[in-house]
């Protein structure tokens, strides 16, 4: 049975989608059958895996709002062990449309249950918000990985995220746990990066991964070519970082 991991932080620009794409890809490279579900209306995980948004006929929107199953919308990728459930711009309206839907918070959970035996890992890229799409994701997930960038205001909004996680645990998904906290955009030359790292490790203690994701030009370039970092530049620091993170995730 597969493990469902949500990559979430309601702050934008923290490396959430980069982590979803590259953790999924490295798990697949380790021959772990993996499915990446793009729950972000911006569809950056979709395009970052090489699928043109204009070529998406069926997406996760059709699962949440329509009568499609995840098996109906799943797409293959360049990596043998990795499948993708794409997002689309239609997902923008899903928050409003879900309001009147029965069991609106558990739509994704119900859909994910049908494919649990198909994969070892199901990675879900959340939108940068705490609306119904994120609530659906947290309700469907077994655990959460929280990326935190090593920059000013890194901890801003974390209280709100932790509160939302607590509410979901209390009312919808008692088994939900924080699997790990990932430090991203780390620059060892900057005192600020080290200070943020110390602050995050003090707050989350042993939940913080030993691996940190360094600032890396190749990592930033890869999505514009529609490739995960291990297919774009396997020798880069970014590829090394995400392969190291994957080893930690596999050991959990």
- Dump pLDDT digits (tens) for 101-129: 778 889 999 999 999 999 999 999 999 88
Q: What is the pLDDT of residue 157?
A: 77
Q: What is the pLDDT of residue 199?
A: 87
In terms of C-beta density within 10 A (0-12 exposed, 13-18 middle, 19 or more buried), how is residue 3 classed? middle
Chain segment 73-104, per-residue pLDDT in tens: 999 999 999 999 999 988 888 878 887 777 88
Note the pLDDT of residue 158.
84
Q: Write down the CATH superfamily of domain 3-251.
A: P-loop containing nucleotide triphosphate hydrolases (3.40.50.300)
The domain segmentation of the chain, as residue ranges, is 3-251
* 177-185: average pLDDT: 94
- Name the token pair of 193: 């990066």
Evaluate if residue 6 carries a pLDDT over 80. yes
Average pLDDT of the chain is 92
């Amino acid at each position: 049975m597969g493990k469902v991991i949500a990559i979430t932080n309601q702050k934008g620009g923290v490396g959430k989608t980069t982590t979803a794409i590259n953790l999924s890809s490295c798990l697949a490279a380790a021959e772990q059958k993996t499915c990446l579900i793009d729950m972000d209306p911006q569809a950056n995980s979709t395009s970052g895996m090489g699928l043109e948004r204009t070529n998406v006929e069926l997406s996760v929107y059709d699962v949440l709002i329509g009568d499609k199953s995840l098996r109906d919308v799943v797409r293959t990728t360049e990596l043998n062990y990795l499948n993708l459930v794409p997002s689309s711009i239609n997902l923008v309206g899903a928050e409003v449309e879900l309001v009147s839907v029965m069991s609106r918070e558990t739509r994704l959970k119900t859909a994910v249950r049908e494919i649990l035996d198909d994969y070892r890992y199901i990675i879900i890229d959340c939108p940068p918000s705490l609306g119904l799409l994120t609530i659906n994701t947290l309700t469907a997930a077994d655990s959460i990985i929280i990326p935190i960038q090593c920059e000013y205001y890194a901890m801003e909004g974390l209280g709100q995220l932790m509160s939302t996680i607590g509410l979901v645990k209390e009312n919808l998904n008692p088994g939900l746990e924080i699997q790990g906290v990932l430090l991203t955009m780390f620059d060892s030359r900057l005192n600020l990066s080290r200070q943020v790292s110390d602050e995050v490790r003090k707050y989350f203690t042993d939940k913080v991964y030993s691996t940190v994701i360094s600032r890396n030009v190749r990592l930033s370039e890869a999505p514009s070519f529609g490739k995960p970092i291990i297919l774009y530049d396997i020798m880069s620091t970014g590829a090394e970082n995400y392969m190291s993170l994957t080893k930690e995730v596999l050991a959990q």
